Amino acid sequence: MRLFLLAVWTVLLAEIACGIRSAVLTALYHHPLTIFMGTMVGTAVVMIFAVLLGDRLSASAGWVRLVGGFFFIVYGFLVMKGKV
């Protein structure tokens, strides 16, 4: 149960930005159900891929943090340059 709650809180905190993007898309296009369904499908696909890949890799937490941090920095750089 503790591992489940850790996963729930980790995803909730990590997905705050996704929720903000969804709110912006809903405000722009006024189709909340379509945005909600698209967000859920996209999140499910990413989570399924991540869980299956994570199970197969058996990577250390340090390696995952390093790779995740690298992609976070690259994404931040792309956002600052207006590419995303």
Is residue 8 a part of any domain in this protein?
yes
pLDDT number for residue 55: 77
Q: Which two tokens stand for residue 6?
A: 């850790």
Is residue 79 a part of any domain in this protein?
no
Q: Which amino acid is at 30?
A: H
What range defines the domain where residue 52 resides? 2-59
Is residue 84 a part of any domain in this protein?
no
Q: How many domains does the chain have?
A: 1
Is residue 78 a part of any domain in this protein?
no
Instruction: Using the structure block, give the residue that is written with the tokens 């992609």.
Output: 71
Backbone angles phi, psi at 50, to 5 degrees: -65, -40
Report pLDDT digits (tens) over 31-81.
Answer: 999 999 998 898 899 889 888 887 787 777 888 889 889 998 998 898 899
* CA 14 – CA 9 distance, rounded (Å): 8
For the beta carbon of residue 22, count every other beta carbon within 10 angstroms. Answer: 19
**Mean pLDDT confidence for 10-39:** 87
Range with the poorest average pLDDT among 21-25, 27-31, 70-74: 21-25
Q: What confidence tier does 29 reach under pLDDT thresholds 50, 70, 90?
A: very high
Indicate the pTM of the whole model.
0.59
